[in-house]
Chain A
Amino acid sequence: MFNKEDNLLRLKDASRAMEICNACRYCETLCPVFPQITQFRTFDEATLNYLSNLCHNCKGCYHSCQYAPPHEFNLNIPKTFSELRVDSYIKYAFPNILGKLFAKNGTVVSIIIALCIALLFIAGSYFNSADSLFTAYDGKGSFFKVIPYEVMTLVSALIFLHVIIAFIVGFRRFWTENGDKMSELTDLSLWKYAMGAVATLKHLDGGDNGHGCNHMDDRFTHSRKWYHHAVMYGFILTLISTTLAAIYHHFLGLQAPYDFDSLVVITGALGGILMVIGCVGLTYIKIKADPIPISQKLLGMDYSFIAILALVNITGLLLLVFRDGIYMPSLLCIHLGFVLAFFLIMPYSKFVHLLYRLGALLKYAKYVKNN
């Protein structure tokens, strides 16, 4: 499905599309891709990888296109770019061999999740006694009675290290592919533009008029942007929550679980709820959307990414609600299982869109600065 030959065909198709757009330019202010392509006459792989990651998949240029199917030119840029993006994820993945996981994502995700949960159960029962799994605990430090603190920390640290290394290598491969130098990243003005575009997802606004994008059909809406905000800011809140918990634990000597009115629980719960809302919304849009500009091949990967995000948060919220009962130990195992699975597959899941989109926005910031 994602082999070299298909990739070459897609590159050819994308380059043909970009040449047609360059002769047309009607979509010039829909998104950054179109002003950017006026700088090129021909489109090599590095350029197309950059452009496909710059694309926010808003589908504006599909619904605007006089050459969209059934026209014989058959331009379907959102679809072509979605597939090209995944080709590029595979190419940049570190270690390369694991890049293949992208193609099989749906199944791999469930297997890994299952494995992780099983491992946790086993670890839990091994380090303590088997009946610790169905006991009601209360009081500080109860989580660590199920899974020892050292195990939790060691496993998390290893996975975290792996994610960081894989991200740095992947980003570097993307950034330098079209000849850009790592040293250019010290230019703070590029970051200012890119972070602004990330924080507001302004490129999903459909141009200067700000009427939004064509997520479902030819109507402009902001819905996908808002659901994404819920997911992204929810994610940030949960990261804050985790960081705070680490600080409480290491520096203040406070043990989990924390009180309902503590910052850790408030940020965590709010983030979790936001992410669940966002995931439900994004799924709804996907189901309802006009199927033609969507790559059917990638739906498995898209859904499994949304699903695991949602499950991490749903299990987290359940744990919060039931943490004083006898289900706590099993819920804790399940929740941590999903969290670990999420981070394990992170460098080989759609999560990397963040990395390369950020990179593409930084590259685009360079273009804006020079023009």
Chain B
Amino acid sequence: MKKIIVIGGGNAALCAAITAAQHGAKVIILESAPKELRGGNSQHTRNMRTYHPKPTKTLVENYPFEEYYEDLLKVTKGETNEELATLAIKSSVDLYYWMESLGINFQPSLKGTLSLSRTNAFFLGGGKTLVNREYQIAEDLGVEVLYEHEVLNIKLSNNEVSYLEVKLPNSNIEIFKADVYIAASGGFESNREWLKEAWGEHAKNFLIRGTKFNQGKVLKSLLEQGVQKVGKEEQGHAVAVDGRAPLYDGGIVTRLDCVPFGIVLNEEGKRFYNEGEDFWPKRYAIWGRLVASQPNQVGHVIIDSKSFDLFMPSVFEPTKADTLEELAQKLGLPIEQVIKTIDEFNGAVVDGEFDLTKLDNCKTEGLDINKTHWARRIDTPPYYGYTLRPGVTFTYLGVKIDKNARVYMEDGKPMTNLFATGEMVAGNILSQGYLAGIGMTIGGVFGRIAGEGAANV
């Protein structure tokens, strides 16, 4: 019986392990997290972008291939691997039905995400329920799951994997060998040292939205031994999140939707970008970068009581004060500068008709940085302050694969016994930008291909 080791324990790894076991292989999963924290970033996801020619149980209308592909080209500015992108999109519908046949449940799009009800299949209970079910299926098929087994190195000779160095729960290091290997251990977004190297010193203040276990050790080991890389180190997905979010695993709820209703100040008490440029869902990703380039990588949203009820409640309580001076002091900002900035802002507001549902005509005039929509004077106490920090979702740097999910060396030769999937290969398709829900599609599609390929090597 063919022995296969799958490295990683998220959606990509599990799709690969399940498929390989269905094809008769003996499969072992090495997951660096303990059981309670298994599932990587996949356990934080909510949906999967799915091409479908006709409605499914939960997806409405249809989402044609051409439209999906166009959507991808838009976000990547045309830079994608056409062959792999086409394959991923076309197979996404089979992935959906395959999951359904395994007893993975979907639900209609969540309240407030109506815009995705046609394009994205939502997992019932979210990614954790998905991953739980995938572990059950894998275990039922006889897959052996070893938790707290971290792969430190993947030793190559020529274009073949010879063995793995694995850190065991007791911290000893042991060699693991198999006939074929599948790498699905995510990106390097949780590795702060690497992030600093790639994104600059200020990455020390970034919050990581997902798991702390995606340290990129397998990725680094592969790239150091001459595996061909795709994507750029500095490319990744980051958004602005609540500054009080946990260092890791803050997940979806740490987003803050209040920016368009107030002004955002940096540590010096100054505004630095147009808060009302566009609707927040279209802007929250750029605010990750914006905040990242401010002193100490932090921003402070200030709103007054007129706006308090207009956005989704935040998980953490805002700082609250009856005067702006008090608020500035509580937030640790230079009081004089804050008052000056707000006075200038208030003085520049042109009255209009405030309307949340459209790009309205409430704006400022004459400032260096104007606020172009939803601008209202900040003058009605109590005042509220929220802190913003950059929150990293994931990185794009990865390894080059072909349509069989086989990994390639820099010299252009395919590896004989190594496949890869998931976040580690997303860079093949996503050179830049992000299309909501495509991460799970890529992992699942190439996971199944890798699993089948590995079983048939």
Q: Which residues of A contact B103 (CB under 8 A)?
A: 211, 220
| Bound CA span A42–B111, Å | 18
Whether A26 and B314, one on each chain, are in contact in the complex, defined by CB atoms closer than 8 angstroms, is no
Instruction: Identify the stretch in A2-10, A67-75, A150-158, A253-261 within 8 Å (CB) of chain B at 4 or more residues.
Output: A67-75
Is A296 in contact with chain B by the CB < 8 A criterion? no
Instruction: Identify the stretch in B9-17, B126-134, B275-283, B296-304 within 8 Å (CB) of chain A at 4 or more residues.
Output: B126-134
Task: Given A25-B112, A71-B249, check contact A66 B127 (CB 8 Å).
Answer: yes
Whether A66 and B251, one on each chain, are in contact in the complex, defined by CB atoms closer than 8 angstroms, is yes
- Chain B: which residue is nearest A19 at the CB level? B313
Instruction: Identify the stretch in B36-44, B383-391, B430-438 within 8 Å (CB) of chain A at 4 or more residues.
Output: B36-44
Instruction: Give A26-57 interface residues, CB cut-off 8 Å to B.
Output: 26-30, 35, 38, 41-42
| Bound CA span A108–B171, Å | 51
Is A218 in contact with chain B by the CB < 8 A criterion? yes
| Bound CA span A127–B249, Å | 71
Instruction: Give B133-162 interface residues, CB cut-off 8 Å to A.
Output: 136
Whether B309 and A41, one on each chain, are in contact in the complex, defined by CB atoms closer than 8 angstroms, is yes
Task: Given A25-B112, A218-B136, check contact A66 B315 (CB 8 Å).
Answer: no
Count of chain B residues near A, Cβ 8 A: 33
Contact of A19 among B43, B110, B315 (CB under 8 A): B315
Whether B132 and A218, one on each chain, are in contact in the complex, defined by CB atoms closer than 8 angstroms, is yes
Is A63 in contact with chain B by the CB < 8 A criterion? yes
Q: Which residues of A contact B313 (CB under 8 A)?
A: 19, 22-23, 41-42
Whether B249 and A207, one on each chain, are in contact in the complex, defined by CB atoms closer than 8 angstroms, is no
Q: Which residues of B contact A206 (CB under 8 A)?
A: 105, 124
Is B356 in contact with chain A by the CB < 8 A criterion? no
Is B369 in contact with chain A by the CB < 8 A criterion? no
Whether A27 and B111, one on each chain, are in contact in the complex, defined by CB atoms closer than 8 angstroms, is no
- Chain B: which residue is nearest A23 at the CB level? B253
Whether B124 and A207, one on each chain, are in contact in the complex, defined by CB atoms closer than 8 angstroms, is yes
Is B64 in contact with chain A by the CB < 8 A criterion? no
Main secondary structure of the interface of A (DSSP, over half): loop
Residue-wise, chain A 200-235 has the 8 Å CB interface mask toward B (1 for contact) of 000000111101000000111000000000000000
Whether B111 and A38, one on each chain, are in contact in the complex, defined by CB atoms closer than 8 angstroms, is yes
Contact of B43 among A22, A66, A207, A211 (CB under 8 A): A66
Whether B37 and A64, one on each chain, are in contact in the complex, defined by CB atoms closer than 8 angstroms, is no
Q: How large is the interface on A (under 10, 10 to 19, 20 to 34, 35 or more residues)?
A: 35 or more
| Bound CA span A24–B251, Å | 9
Taking the closest CB of chain A, its distance from the CB of B308, in whole angstroms, is 10
Taking the closest CB of chain A, its distance from the CB of B419, in whole angstroms, is 28
Which of B103, B106, B126 has the most chain A CB atoms inside 10 A of its CB? Answer: B126
Taking the closest CB of chain A, its distance from the CB of B284, in whole angstroms, is 14
| Bound CA span A65–B309, Å | 27
Instruction: Give B1-43 interface residues, CB cut-off 8 Å to A.
Output: 36-37, 43
Is B318 in contact with chain A by the CB < 8 A criterion? no
Instruction: Give B306-330 interface residues, CB cut-off 8 Å to A.
Output: 309, 312-315
Is B46 in contact with chain A by the CB < 8 A criterion? yes
Q: Which residues of B contact A354 (CB under 8 A)?
A: none
Whether A26 and B132, one on each chain, are in contact in the complex, defined by CB atoms closer than 8 angstroms, is no
Q: Which residues of A contact B315 (CB under 8 A)?
A: 19-20, 23
Q: Which residues of B contact A63 (CB under 8 A)?
A: 125, 128-129, 132
Is A60 in contact with chain B by the CB < 8 A criterion? yes
Q: Which residues of A contact B106 (CB under 8 A)?
A: 209
| Bound CA span A73–B316, Å | 11
Q: Which residues of B contact A65 (CB under 8 A)?
A: 128
| Bound CA span A207–B107, Å | 8
Is B78 in contact with chain A by the CB < 8 A criterion? no
Taking the closest CB of chain B, its distance from the CB of A26, in whole angstroms, is 3
Whether B107 and A64, one on each chain, are in contact in the complex, defined by CB atoms closer than 8 angstroms, is no
Q: Which residues of A contact B382 (CB under 8 A)?
A: none
- Chain A: which residue is nearest B113 at the CB level? A25
- Chain A: which residue is nearest B136 at the CB level? A219
| Bound CA span A25–B309, Å | 19
Whether A29 and B249, one on each chain, are in contact in the complex, defined by CB atoms closer than 8 angstroms, is no
Whether B107 and A66, one on each chain, are in contact in the complex, defined by CB atoms closer than 8 angstroms, is no
Q: Which residues of A contact B44 (CB under 8 A)?
A: 66
- Chain B: which residue is nearest A64 at the CB level? B125
Whether B128 and A66, one on each chain, are in contact in the complex, defined by CB atoms closer than 8 angstroms, is yes
Is B252 in contact with chain A by the CB < 8 A criterion? yes
| Bound CA span A220–B102, Å | 13
Taking the closest CB of chain A, its distance from the CB of B303, in whole angstroms, is 15
Whether B107 and A28, one on each chain, are in contact in the complex, defined by CB atoms closer than 8 angstroms, is yes
| Bound CA span A71–B46, Å | 18
Taking the closest CB of chain A, its distance from the CB of B366, in whole angstroms, is 36
Task: Given A28-B110, A66-B127, A71-B249, check contact A23 B136 (CB 8 Å).
Answer: no
| Bound CA span A227–B109, Å | 33
Q: Which residues of B contact A22 (CB under 8 A)?
A: 312-313
| Bound CA span A65–B123, Å | 13
Whether A207 and B105, one on each chain, are in contact in the complex, defined by CB atoms closer than 8 angstroms, is yes
| Bound CA span A199–B136, Å | 31
Whether B124 and A29, one on each chain, are in contact in the complex, defined by CB atoms closer than 8 angstroms, is yes
Q: Which residues of B contact A69 (CB under 8 A)?
A: 36
Residue-wise, chain B 402-439 has the 8 Å CB interface mask toward A (1 for contact) of 00000000000000000000000000000000000000
Whether B249 and A60, one on each chain, are in contact in the complex, defined by CB atoms closer than 8 angstroms, is no
| Bound CA span A206–B312, Å | 26
Task: Given A25-B110, A28-B107, check contact A209 B128 (CB 8 Å).
Answer: no
Whether A64 and B129, one on each chain, are in contact in the complex, defined by CB atoms closer than 8 angstroms, is yes
Q: Which residues of A contact B (CB under 8 A)?
A: 19-20, 22-30, 35, 38, 41-42, 60-61, 63-67, 69-73, 206-209, 211, 218-220
Write 30 A-B pairs (CB below 8 A) sorted by A numbering.
Answer: A23-B315, A24-B252, A24-B253, A25-B112, A26-B110, A26-B127, A28-B110, A28-B111, A29-B107, A38-B111, A63-B125, A63-B128, A64-B125, A64-B129, A66-B44, A66-B126, A66-B128, A66-B251, A66-B252, A70-B36, A71-B249, A72-B246, A73-B246, A207-B107, A208-B107, A209-B124, A211-B105, A218-B132, A218-B136, A220-B103
